[in-house]
């Protein structure tokens, strides 16, 4: 297990993952995922879909989840920097309705493993960001759910710089509050 440093977050099942990065004058090489290393760390999920998006500074996506086909995700930033957030929606979890946020960037090369049963979103902090993620289940458009990004009950501390203009999709501005969906 030498290629990755698995850092447990305060929320059970959520991990910040630091891949080993081998660099020299030509550039660098790193593994972003290795089933055997992840399995040895207790992460035995199989990924079935890879996605990538590009967003400009101030774009806030989320908080999204799948209702009946929850997806575990391994997320990372290829270019730029984002503030990535996961919210625990697992009934009976000791950290139900708690959130965790982490900076993911091309510089720090960190990944975040988000188990199924979480809502997920991110805010782009750099001029633009390319975001890539692996999913443990396929996306089902009819199964989408979401929580409004600024829900006062969750009280997520988004790092919104003074003067930063947020760009949020019309769909995401109409998402419900946590208490309307789960309480």
Domains of the chain by start residue, with CATH: 46-182 (2.60.120.10)
Which helix (H) or strand (E) covers residue 88, if one does?
Answer: strand 81-88
- Tokens for 176, please give them: 């419900």
Catalytic residue among 64, 69, 83, 120: 64
- Tokens for 139, please give them: 């996306």
Band the pLDDT of 1: cuts 50, 70, 90: very low
Band the pLDDT of 182: cuts 50, 70, 90: confident
94 Cβ neighbours under 8 A, 6+ residues apart: 12
Report the chain's mean pLDDT, rounded to a whole number. 96
Does 55 or 183 have the greater pLDDT score?
Answer: 55
Is residue 28 part of the annotated active site? The answer reads no
Output the CA–CA distances (angstroms, integers) from residue 91 to 16, 18, 44, in the order listed.
Answer: 23, 29, 21
Band the pLDDT of 2: cuts 50, 70, 90: low
Is residue 33 part of the annotated active site? The answer reads no
pLDDT, tens digit, 9 for 90 and up, residues 139-169:
999 999 999 999 999 999 999 999 999 999 9
Compute the distance between CA of residue 50 and CA of residue 38 in angstroms, rounded to an integer: 17
Catalytic residue among 15, 33, 83, 133: 133
Strand partners for 55? 129
- pLDDT of amino acid 39: 95
Q: Where are the alpha helices (DSSP H) in the chain?
A: 35-40, 170-173, 178-182
Compute the distance between CA of residue 57 and CA of residue 68 in angstroms, rounded to an integer: 32
pLDDT, tens digit, 9 for 90 and up, residues 42-71:
999 999 999 999 999 999 999 999 999 999
């Amino acid at each position: 297990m030498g290629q990755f440093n698995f850092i447990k977050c305060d929320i059970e099942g959520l991990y910040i993952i630091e891949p080993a990065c081998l660099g020299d004058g030509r550039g660098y090489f790193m593994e972003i995922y290795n089933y055997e290393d992840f399995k040895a760390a207790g992460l035995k999920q199989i990924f079935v879909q890879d996605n990538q998006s590009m967003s400009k500074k101030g774009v806030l996506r989320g908080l999204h989840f799948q209702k009946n086909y929850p997806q575990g995700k391994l997320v990372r930033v290829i270019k730029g920097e984002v503030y990535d957030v996961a919210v625990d929606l697992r009934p009976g979890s000791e950290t139900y309705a708690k959130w965790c946020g982490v900076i993911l960037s091309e510089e720090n090369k960190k990944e975040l493993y988000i188990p199924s049963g979480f809502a997920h979103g991110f805010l782009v902090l750099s001029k633009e960001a390319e975001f890539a993620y692996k999913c443990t289940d396929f996306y089902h458009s009819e199964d989408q759910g979401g929580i409004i990004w600024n829900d006062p009950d969750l009280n997520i501390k988004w790092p919104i710089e003074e003067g930063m203009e947020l760009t949020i999709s019309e769909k995401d501005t109409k998402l419900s509050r946590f208490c309307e969906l789960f309480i």
